[in-house]
Structure 1
């Protein structure tokens, strides 16, 4: 199994389903390689540059950009609608913060993973009396059984960190789901009030 393939399965096995709901998006496609990743998001990690691509000023929808070269995640920028209510703003802000938090985690995760993997491969080659490249200048690699030792060690070493990530991910998405329900309920109430000419006001939920 190649490093890219194994890395993909490592990341997907730790990444819960996205509960953020459907998006009306504008996609921009680019070719981008997939790599895998391990380190908790930190204050420094939160400042990781997301993307050089941004939606046009006249955009009326949520925007999904090309995959980031480090996190492998497509950045999402949520559209700010006109006459946004305070509850809608609260939901949009939390969703955007969650996207940024997720990006920071996987950026740090991937950087650490690749550094540790490269160091492991180099150490194993040295034990065999081999150099990093062969006579033709091609980069040497280990077989799948040898790399399996590293992958297992990596997962065991970062087990608690990954568990904490999953807990935070579910907590955030649960809160987002509740907010989405409240926003939908208030929207229905507002529509009914406008149609029936009720006095201005709304549910207290």
Structure 2
């Protein structure tokens, strides 16, 4: 895993740390999604205690997304905690969606290839033992069919993804304003002599 390194600007650091997620639980769970079918595990890696950055892990084997281990500051405000939790929920939601989607895709692709090869009278393996493949035109039929069949599912995903990201951006703004307000309140007042 690699640590995200901060820039010299405070706002840039803050935005880099917080802009990798969205709001959780905005959409109802869909019956068509098989939550348990492809349980995607986030890396169990734990960064060093002294680390003050988010850590990005290797791609998940089911979803192909890189999990984020979020840094929890010692003096995290309730608003910052809410923001972090929303980001974590979004990561879990995204991991689960793509793990299920990839599982469905691979299963249907395999079924398509087998059915096409059986229709041709070919086996799954050639005489030399290599796996028989379909040409690009035949696979294009599968891709077109798969995308058409899952169009509504992808539309819901995109809608929910944007809702989550707009909500997380809103919370990022609130946290940034809270931090600026706290800095202004802590500045010592200048006395005129």
Q: Distance in 2 between matches of 1:132 and 1:174?
A: 47
Kindly name which structure, 1 or 2, has the bigger radius of gyration based on alpha carbons. 2
Aligned counterparts, 1:27-176, within 5 A: 41-44=33-36, 48-176=40-168
Matched with 2:176 is 184
Q: Is the contact between residue 41 and residue 60 of structure 2 (CA under 8 Å) also seen in structure 1?
A: no
- Residue ranges of structure 1 left out of the alignment (5+ in a row): 1-19, 25-38, 198-205
Q: Which has the higher contact order (CA 8 A, sep 6+)?
A: 2
CA deviations 1:118-154 (Å, max 9, x no partner) are 1101110111110001011111111111000000100
Superposition TM-score, scaled by structure 1 size: 0.74
- Whether contact under 8 Å (2:35, 2:96) holds in the other structure is no
Measure the CA separation in 2 of the matches of 1:22 and 1:41: 31
CA–CA distance in 2 between the matches of 1:118 and 1:135? 20
What is the CA–CA distance in structure 1 between the aligned matches of 2:83 and 2:147, rounded to whole Å? Answer: 33
For residue 49 of structure 1, report the CA deviation from its aligned partner: 1.9
* Paired residues, number: 164
What's the C-alpha RMSD, in Å, of the aligned pairs?
Answer: 2.1
In the superposition, the TM-score normalised over structure 2's length comes to 0.79
User: Which structure 2 residue ranges, 5 or more long, are not aligned?
Assistant: 1-13, 19-30
> 1 CA distance for matches of 2:34 and 2:103?
14
Q: From the superposition, tell whether residues 88 and 46 of structure 1 become closer, same or farther in structure 2 (CA, over 3 Å).
A: farther
Contact 2:59 2:65 in 1 (8 A): yes
Assess, with a 3 A threshold, how the Cα gap between structure 1 residues 67 and 148 changes in structure 2: closer, same or farther. same
Deviation string for 1:19-59 (max 9, x for gaps)? x94239xxxxxxxxxxxxxx965553695322243323332
Runs of 4+ in 1 over 4 A off after TM superposition: 39-43
